[in-house]
Structure 1
């Protein structure tokens, strides 16, 4: 429920220190919930992507080397064959085409049209390997559920950059 999600967010923010950094781009719903709870806890929120063009943000993530996978689809033009695919420049162009031609949706999924999972990035020590997955469907939405995964070593040349964090 929304109340449970608020409680979980409140709990997480109350144990952390410093400002809260949010990846929200255009979702007023996300922003208002986070801001309200942060205000309750006297915490500052920094949202560097807020108001940016979603396509530009996704392109920057792809260009930065993030391995982003499509794991949840709820907008009508987004079909099951997209689940598990890597969000690369070709797929981004296809999403933009479907958004223009079939039904408008945010290119970064900010309206809940889709969700993603980052399984690798230059700043990860190890990548997340998805061993077993299955697809669930509820109310017209489809989700790729990860049943089993493991962390996998990366070749030395793919290791984290200075100051990087583990997955």
Structure 2
């Protein structure tokens, strides 16, 4: 059943991707992925636009990337521009679990969009287990250096990851909801093709270890 056309807030990580999957499973049609990067600083989940464009290509869904000073203003501008160009946008999908509810409530309220948050206030470990069971593949792209060493970079999100994370530090949220780590999705049930990392290096910056990917391929599954 078609529930309407939506845009998806997209960082390239597991939460937005899984929220997108859940929305599609419920009958929503995704018009565009919206990816925003802050101009003033590089954040801990800042993924190269080349990588998120590769994801969009692998998914077969158009992506709009914008640099921003104000996320809220840029998001509203993009949706209004889409509507002005003739696109029907009924709702917006976000992968937030415990944060930013007031912000996205306000954005959707002002735009007259249905707010869709499939992961909101769900148990983090259950989300990770559901992500794995659904067939998604994601790797750690950045980790908070005082909690996780650089050896965690590039690790796949799987059952072993959950076990090892608990053994390493039980206080770390399994979804990294407190900024402990950020991920990049390389494959899954929505993907027509998969992304394979070919070359990368580990860089320490701003209290985070980053896996900076310099070469990757989009390959047939």
Quickly name the TM-score band, shorter chain normalised. 0.7 to 0.9
Task: State whether residues 138 and 187 of structure 2, in contact with CA within 8 Å, keep that contact through their aligned partners in structure 1.
Answer: yes
1:153 and 1:91 mapped to 2: Cα distance?
26
The alignment covers a number of residue pairs equal to 149
Q: SS in structure 2 opposite 1:94?
A: helix
Query: Which residue does 2:31 correspond to in 1?
Result: none
Task: State the shift of 1:42 in Å.
Answer: 2.1
Task: State the shift of 1:75 in Å.
Answer: 5.7
Query: Which residue does 1:114 correspond to in 2?
Result: 181
Compare the two structures and name the one with the higher strand fraction.
2
Q: TM-score, normalised by structure 2?
A: 0.61
Q: Residues 72-87 of structure 1: matches in 2 within 5 Å?
A: 72-74=142-144, 76-87=146-157
1:9 and 1:74 mapped to 2: Cα distance?
28
Aligned-residue CA RMSD (Å): 2.0
Matched, 1:138 2:208: no
- What runs of 5+ residues in structure 1 fail to find an aligned partner? 155-167
1:11 corresponds to which of 53, 59, 77: 77
1:69 and 1:87 mapped to 2: Cα distance?
6
Instruction: Report Cα offsets for 1:10-31 as digits up to 9, x if no partner.
Output: 33433271211111112x2x32
Cα 1:113/1:8, change in 2 over 3 Å? farther
* Structure with more contact order per residue of length (Cα contacts < 8 Å, sep ≥ 6): 2
Moved over 6 A (4+): none
Task: State the shift of 1:122 in Å.
Answer: 2.4
Query: Which residue does 1:40 correspond to in 2?
Result: 110
